[in-house]
């Protein structure tokens, strides 16, 4: 049976086999990796715990598969191409051998700083090769990395550091982002004021700006390297040892730490990478996601390196120094496979066709989309103007919790349909249920998307709180993994993702819980209560609409709005800024005190005439008030 699928018939037969004999299927795929010891059992699972174990008894180190095993055949081949934010700076290429050496050296830096197998290491870095090096070094010594997107605020950073119980943070003096400089170290200093357990902070020099160094805690990356040996034999890990923690938002409470483990994640991130993108030897592959998100983990770093691919990492933003930057980079590095988010596509589409028209873009062979539904207009623009109608466009659906892509076309192999994620990958068994959890069979149906069988990359737990993992994903419908997404299955069995059915928003492809934004807004001294919903936004996919009750009479509403926005930026980060803030006297609540978000969503969408049944409201009068003041 082929590891890499090469035609539609093969897809169908692989899919069939993966369902009739999942263990045999994945055991065979796992043969493509280097193991110190092979597994005793392919799979043990139940979704009630949940308790899911893949490849039990196996021993390995994922970095031997990402690095060591490529040294003989691909030592001189480029592993990472790094393109800096500033165009006057040179790009950097790291060969597999160079990357290996840097990872070994940094592994020794970590060890010299007392980091041991199983310890958590928080990484708060801009998009520089050292972010990849730090992650791989953690994996090499068996430490668990937790990368925190460098756009998050000090408060979000300290929350995550505390939740992981990390004693070490890896960061930089600052970062470049478009024409801005970000004071990363200052943010870390603020965060660490609240994290007394952090004894060590390793600081990479990136901007060269002067920063405060606390001598008992802060150490320069480059100085630490001076005393670190260059050889490092990787730690032997168990299949189910955690590889990383990555925080993501849910419908309630604070973000939770999704835990992925070593062997299953390795097999699934690579298998899905190779089959979805159909990477060919010597291709240059570019995923624009930040390493702070799961896409950066699975498809900028692990998937491509496991393949021995050349992966491009870009420090900057699509519009700096101008709206042609992505297209210029594609021509400059002769990128063959390009993977980005619908938000980026829509914002570049809005800049006009003249931008891509200036570039050849003839190296491109495959296009990918991820993170949110891609609307038909953006799909066609991407396919026509960037792909020149000559590149399959894979709309890849997945989640932080799934570790890898679950539903997507395989480039050039299975059909693509605008705005459809199409078909499940082999090993993936989706089903659609109604609100009672009853499976909706057949085609041309719509409902809530679940999975009935585990795949190797599935979430194992939420860090430090297994019950939360059960509650969130496995308790809504017994014996099913619930995705939180609504979807449709068309007459041919193709899936179209409709978006979240819970209180999670998707802002520019970033997942943000309404509850998180509300609790940040409520920190403002005038605010008594707030309710947040998403609304359709032409560039961001969804925008944030906040209904806010204040207990203080004020004259200057815009001033209070700005203060509330600053509060949210301070507590979460700029990605969670409300787009609209409407001051209201009351919120539509049921007699039991539950906010009826359905009504608020409708008003935010501008659909005020058809609000449905409001008779269960405690005070239907508030709806009139809200409608009259709606910001649409
Ligand atoms: C949520 C997961 C997967 C990596 C990036 C986001 C939405 C993701 C698609 C897509 C429609 C999509 C879903 C999902 N989503 N990809 N191709 N089409 N919706 O990961 O932050 O964990 O968010 O993003 O709603 O549940 P994430």
Q: Considering Cα of 614, then 616, then 621, then 625, what sign does the dihedral take?
A: negative
Between the CA of 11 and the centroid of ligand 1 the distance, in Å, is 23
Closest Cα to atom 11 of ligand 1: 373
Rounded Cα distance, 187 and 152, in Å: 9
Which residue's alpha carbon is nearest to atom 21 within ligand 1?
511
CB 573 within 8 A of CB 156: yes
113 touches ligand 1 (CB under 6 Å): no
| 200-204 sheet: strands from edge to edge | 218-220, 200-204, 168-172, 120-124, 144-147, 242-248, 256-261, 461-462
Ligand 1 and 248: CB distance under 6 A: yes
DSSP string, 325-351: HHHHHHHHHT-SEEEE-HHHHHHHHTT
**449 CA to middle of ligand 1, Å?**
13
Q: Residue 267: what pLDDT?
A: 99
User: Rounded CA gap, 313 and 80, in Å?
Assistant: 7
In this predicted model, what pLDDT tens digit does every residue of 557-614 receive, in sequence order? 999 999 999 999 999 999 999 999 999 999 999 888 889 999 999 999 998 888 888 8
Taking only the tens place, the pLDDT of each residue in 522-545 is 999 999 999 999 999 999 999 999
Name the residue of 301, 502, 511 to mutate for ligand 1: max ligand atoms within 8 A of Cβ: 511
The pLDDT value recorded for residue 524 is: 96
Q: What is the pLDDT of residue 195?
A: 98
Q: 292: CA distance to ligand 1 center in Å?
A: 15
Task: Work out the mean pLDDT of the chain and round it to a whole number.
Answer: 96
448 alpha carbon – ligand 1 mean position (Å): 14
What local confidence, expressed as pLDDT, does residue 186 receive?
98
Ligand 1 contact, 318 CB (< 6 A): no
Q: What's the rounded Cα separation, in Å, for the pair 427 and 45?
A: 15
User: What is the Cα–Cα distance from 552 to 570, expressed in whole angstroms?
Assistant: 22
Take atom 18 of ligand 1 and give the residue whose Cα is closest: 373
Collapse the DSSP code of 265 into the 3-class scheme (helix H, G, I; strand E, B; otherwise coil) and give the result. Answer: helix
pLDDT at 59: 98
| Ligand 1 close to Cβ of residue 371 (< 6 A) | yes
* pLDDT reported for residue 610: 81
Q: What pLDDT sits at residue 443?
A: 97
Is 372's C-beta closer than 6 angstroms to any atom of ligand 1?
yes
Query: 284-287 and 393-396 as β-strands: parallel, antiparallel, unpaired?
Result: unpaired
Q: How far is it, in rounded angstroms, from Cα 420 to Cα 496?
A: 4
Fold classified for 504-628: GMP Synthetase; Chain A, domain 3 (3.30.300)
Residue ranges of the chain with pLDDT lower than 70?
none
- Stated pTM of the model: 0.96
Protein residue closest via CA to atom 14 of ligand 1: 399
Closest atom of ligand 1 to 500 CA is 25
């Amino acid at each position: 049976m082929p590891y890499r699928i090469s035609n539609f018939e093969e897809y169908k037969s692989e899919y069939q086999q993966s369902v009739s004999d999942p263990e045999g299927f994945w055991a065979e795929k796992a043969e493509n990796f280097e193991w110190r010891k092979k597994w005793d059992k392919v799979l043990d699972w139940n979704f009630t715990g949940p308790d899911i174990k893949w490849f039990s008894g196996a021993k390995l180190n994922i970095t031997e598969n990402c690095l060591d095993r490529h040294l003989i055949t691909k030592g001189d081949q480029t592993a990472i191409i790094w393109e800096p934010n500033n165009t006057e700076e040179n790009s950097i290429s790291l060969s597999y051998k160079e990357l290996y050496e840097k990872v070994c050296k940094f592994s020794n830096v970590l060890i010299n700083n007392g980091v041991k197998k199983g310890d958590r290491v928080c990484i708060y870095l801009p998009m520089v090769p050292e972010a990849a090096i730090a992650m791989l070094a953690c994996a090499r010594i068996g430490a668990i990395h937790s990368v925190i997107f460098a756009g998050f605020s000090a408060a979000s950073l300290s929350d995550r550091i505390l939740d992981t119980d990390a004693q070490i943070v890896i960061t930089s003096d600052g970062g470049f982002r478009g024409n801005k400089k970000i004071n990363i170290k200052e943010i870390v200093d603020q965060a660490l004021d609240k994290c007394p357990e952090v004894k060590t902070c390793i600081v990479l020099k990136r901007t060269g700006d002067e920063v405060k160094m606390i001598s008992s805690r802060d150490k320069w990356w480059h100085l630490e390297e001076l005393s670190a040996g260059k050889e490092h034999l990787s730690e032997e890990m168990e299949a189910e040892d955690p590889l990383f923690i990555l925080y993501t938002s849910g419908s309630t409470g604070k973000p939770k730490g999704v835990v992925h483990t070593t062997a299953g994640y390795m097999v699934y991130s690579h298998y899905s990478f190779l089959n979805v993108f159909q990477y060919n030897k010597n291709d240059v592959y570019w995923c624009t996601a930040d390493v702070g998100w799961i896409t950066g983990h699975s498809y900028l770093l692990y998937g491509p390196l496991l393949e021995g691919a050349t992966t491009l990492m870009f420090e900057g933003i699509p519009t700096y120094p101008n709206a042609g930057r992505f297209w210029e980079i594609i021509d400059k590095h002769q990128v063959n496979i390009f993977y980005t988010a619908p938000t980026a596509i829509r914002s570049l589409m809005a800049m006009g066709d003249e931008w891509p028209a200036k570039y050849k873009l003839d190296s491109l062979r495959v296009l990918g989309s991820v993170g949110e539904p891609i609307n038909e207009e953006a799909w066609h623009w991407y396919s026509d103007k960037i792909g020149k109608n000559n590149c399959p466009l894979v709309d890849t659906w997945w989640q932080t919790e799934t570790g890898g892509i679950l539903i997507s076309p395989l480039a050039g192999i299975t059909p693509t349909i605008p705005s459809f994620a199409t078909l499940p990958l082999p090993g993936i068994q989706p089903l659609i249920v109604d609100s009672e959890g009853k499976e909706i069979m057949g085609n041309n149906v719509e409902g809530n998307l679940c999975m009935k069988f585990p795949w190797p990359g599935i979430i194992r737990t939420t860090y430090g709180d297994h019950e939360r993992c059960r509650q969130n994903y496995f308790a809504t419908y017994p014996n099913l993994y619930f995705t939180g997404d609504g979807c449709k299955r068309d007459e041919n069995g193709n899936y179209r993702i409709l978006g979240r059915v819970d209180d999670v928003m998707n802002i520019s492809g970033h997942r943000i819980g309404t509850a998180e934004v509300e609790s940040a807004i409520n920190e403002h001294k005038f605010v008594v209560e707030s309710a947040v919903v998403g609304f359709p936004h032409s560039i961001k996919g969804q925008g944030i609409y906040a209904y806010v009750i204040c207990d203080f009479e004020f004259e200057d509403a815009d001033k209070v709005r700005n203060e509330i926005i600053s509060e949210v930026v301070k507590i979460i980060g700029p990605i969670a800024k409300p787009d609209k803030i409407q001051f209201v006297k009351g919120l539509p609540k049921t007699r039991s005190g539950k906010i009826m978000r359905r009504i608020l969503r409708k008003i935010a969408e501008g659909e005020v005439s058809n609000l449905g049944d409001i008779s269960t409201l405690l005070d239907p009068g508030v709806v009139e008030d809200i409608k009259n003041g709606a910001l649409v």
